[in-house]
Amino acid sequence: MSHPELSEQEIQRRESLHKLRELGIDPYPAALYPVDAFAAEIKEKFEDGKQVCLAGRMLSQRIMGKASFAEIQDASGRIQVYFNRDEICPDEDKTLYNEVFKKLLDLGDFIGIKGQVFKTQVGEISVNVTEFTLLSKSLRPLPLPKTDAAGVVHDAFTDPELRYRQRYVDLVVNRQVKDVFIKRTRLFNAMREFFNREGYMEVETPILQAIPGGASARPFITHHNALDIPLYMRIANELYLKRLIVGGFDGVYEFSKNFRNEGMDRTHNPEFTAMEIYVAYKDYNWMMDFTEQLLEHCALAVNGTTIAQFGEHTIDFKAPYKRVTMRQSIIDFTGFDIKGKSEEELRAAAKSMGLEVDETMGTGKLIDEIFGGKCEGNYIQPTFITDYPKEMSPLCKVHRDDPTLTERFELMVCGKEVANAYSELNDPIDQRERFEEQLKLQERGDDEAMFIDQDFLRSLEYGMPPTSGLGIGMDRLIMYLTNNPSIQEVLFFPQMRPEKSAPKVVLNDTEKEIYQKIQAEKQLLLGELRAAFEISNKLWDTSIKTLTKNNLVSVFKDGELLLVKLIEE
């Protein structure tokens, strides 16, 4: 048996696997294993002599001749188990202990244990094994961090790339990572509970949309073969939820995976989760009350306290939260009053504040720039910023007291937006005009302006009750609740560049030389390239064909000329 591509340890594990089979032990048995106990529970409720059956991965082994200790990790945590040779093998044949346990089991293997709970001389709650079963063999060594007596972790599995690419390993060896995702699920459950208690209904709306509406963002595009039309992955679900309010539901919500074809960094992933909820007969003032109650409830459910530590900041999600109008906020931090100012005045003001602005920006975008540049970052504690300019909020109702503003708020935490809410625009004529303004912005060069959804307008024309809607960035919220500065840490499988993007093609020496020549020139005449190599026609032919077949270079015609060019990733 030779495995040239495997590491020494992997080869050894495969050999162990082989030997186990020879001993008549199935390394991947089919039968269920009758687990009736968990590590954490055994340790919490210690009962001397209690018979238990548990299963998990073996993560450490301390062999001392005829006795050994091992650690088993199950879904609840870790527990030490004690193997005594003569208890495992009461008869003459000691193979099960000497061979199977000591040699053929490896760290990372899943085993099942039956035995009695006891305390060792040093006081560690352990299980005295009377019977063990191999449940699944692990063929790759896990990176196993160790914690010393001082609590210092050695050999921690910390490389972010490896951790994200092999999250399954990360979860096995890094307990704190598992905890983040447990909290994530708790957050979702807490929100559902809060909404369901109010009688609101969880719904599902299309992810594949013919018109990507409800937000301003570049969508991912795909194609439906049967209908032969382009379809877009949703950037938001807002317009569909509102259609359901038109249809007569009083409260609907959805945890929506949204997709945006934009940059990736530590706060942006191309797919992310938003929660959106729409409640009929409410306005944004009601929604502020509702939001602060909701977040207080969620913080408590996730962490058991409304206080959350985020980096250097201590945040308190206890309601109520401060409410500041956008105009007041800009006055507070810049001394500039945006009320009644023209586009030119705003642009001049923004420039004087050292902000980068250009001609495509309308008043809304300019105000947004000023707020984003000078104010936003200052709100550490949860704060509602209210009354956004009309131009920035095409789906939001005009403010009851000021026609240049809208009834909108965003909730800022640690200088970032975590929630966004409106008194929803339900005047179909106004809505159509707003969409048309967006279209004009688009023509002006704003590539994020919204598309017009005619069917949505039609639904409004049938009448939508006054409604307030709220959207929450779930990923961002869980970042705050688990003190993680990057979104990758709160997504099981964050988007990564595919592994090994470089073509792994094995080229022979001639092909390599030709390829290098093309690499250097990027593009050149085929004949010229041919002349540079003193090789037979046949070798030339096969070489250039290898390169083109593997998509390293391409040959193409430009008029009468045959050219060859480098294909770059």
Contact set for RNA, span 16-45 (CB under 7 A):
16
When the beta carbons of 250 and 417 are compared against RNA, the nearer one is 417
Checking phi first, is residue 93 left (phi over 0); if not, alpha (psi -120 to 50) or beta?
beta
Single-letter amino acid, residue 424? E
Q: How many residues bind RNA (CB under 7 A)?
A: 76
Least distance in Å: CB of 389 to RNA? 11
Binding mask 354-373 for RNA (x = CB under 7 A): --x-----------x-----
Q: Does 565 contact RNA by CB under 7 A?
A: no
Q: Which of 7, 196, 293, 309 binds RNA (CB under 7 A)?
A: 7
Written as one string, the DSSP assignment of 306-368 is: SEEEETTEEEE-PSP-EEEEHHHHHHHHH----TT--HHHHHHHHHHTT----TT--HHHHHH
Q: Which of 417, 430, 437, 521 binds RNA (CB under 7 A)?
A: 417
With contact defined as beta carbons under 8 Å apart, do 131 and 21 qualify?
A: no
The closest alpha carbon to 215, from 194, 236, 239, belongs to 236
β-pairing, 383-386 vs 408-413, is antiparallel
The closest alpha carbon to 234, from 258, 255, 254, belongs to 258
Q: Does 262 contact RNA by CB under 7 A?
A: yes
When the beta carbons of 67 and 452 are compared against RNA, the nearer one is 67
Q: Does 467 contact RNA by CB under 7 A?
A: no
336 vs 326, 350, 402, 412, CA distance in Å? 11, 10, 19, 21
Q: Does 569 contact RNA by CB under 7 A?
A: yes
When the beta carbons of 33 and 118 are compared against RNA, the nearer one is 118
- Long-range contacts of 41-50, Cβ-Cβ distance < 8 Å, separation of 24 or more: 41/76, 42/79, 42/117, 42/125, 42/127, 43/77, 43/79, 43/125, 46/117, 46/119, 46/125, 47/117, 48/117, 48/118, 48/119, 49/116, 49/117, 49/118, 50/116, 50/117
Contact set for RNA, span 161-190 (CB under 7 A): 161-162, 164
Q: Does 157 contact RNA by CB under 7 A?
A: yes
- Tokens in use for 428? 């179909």
β-pairing, 125-136 vs 77-84, is parallel
Q: Which of 35, 40, 67, 348 binds RNA (CB under 7 A)?
A: 67
d(CA 363, CA 392): 8
When the beta carbons of 256 and 420 are compared against RNA, the nearer one is 420
> Of 49-57, 293-301, 345-353, 483-491, which segment contacts RNA by CB under 7 A?
483-491
Main-chain phi, psi angles of 176, to 5 degrees: -65, -25
When the beta carbons of 265 and 344 are compared against RNA, the nearer one is 265
Contact set for RNA, span 100-129 (CB under 7 A): 103, 106-107, 118, 120-124, 126, 128
Single-letter amino acid, residue 492? F
When the beta carbons of 401 and 569 are compared against RNA, the nearer one is 569
Looking up tokens 């020879």, which residue turns up?
22
Contact set for RNA, span 270-329 (CB under 7 A): none
Q: Does 141 contact RNA by CB under 7 A?
A: yes
User: How many residues are given for the chain?
Assistant: 569
Q: Does 69 contact RNA by CB under 7 A?
A: yes
Q: Does 268 contact RNA by CB under 7 A?
A: yes
> Of 339-347, 485-493, 525-533, 555-563, which segment contacts RNA by CB under 7 A?
485-493
Q: Which of 269, 273, 334, 393 binds RNA (CB under 7 A)?
A: 393
Contact set for RNA, span 201-260 (CB under 7 A): 215-217, 260
Contact set for RNA, span 510-549 (CB under 7 A): 516
When the beta carbons of 501 and 536 are compared against RNA, the nearer one is 501
Q: Does 95 contact RNA by CB under 7 A?
A: no
Q: Does 82 contact RNA by CB under 7 A?
A: yes
CB atoms within 10 A of CB 454: 10
d(CA 450, CA 211): 10
Q: Does 80 contact RNA by CB under 7 A?
A: yes
> Of 63-71, 130-138, 340-348, 556-564, which segment contacts RNA by CB under 7 A?
63-71
Least distance in Å: CB of 230 to RNA? 21
CB atoms within 10 A of CB 552: 19
3-state secondary structure 476-518: HHHHHHHCCCCHHHHCCCCCCCCCCCCCCCCCCHHHHHHHHHH
When the beta carbons of 27 and 143 are compared against RNA, the nearer one is 143
> Of 245-253, 343-351, 390-398, 544-552, which segment contacts RNA by CB under 7 A?
390-398
Q: Does 60 contact RNA by CB under 7 A?
A: yes
Q: Does 51 contact RNA by CB under 7 A?
A: no
When the beta carbons of 485 and 527 are compared against RNA, the nearer one is 485
Least distance in Å: CB of 522 to RNA? 12
Least distance in Å: CB of 151 to RNA? 10
Instruction: Please name the residues in contact with 43: beta carbons below 8 A apart, sequence gap of 6 or more.
Output: 77, 79, 125
Q: Which of 204, 265, 289, 461 binds RNA (CB under 7 A)?
A: 265
With contact defined as beta carbons under 8 Å apart, do 154 and 144 qualify?
A: no
What one-character DSSP code corresponds to residue 447? T
Q: Does 144 contact RNA by CB under 7 A?
A: yes
When the beta carbons of 274 and 529 are compared against RNA, the nearer one is 274
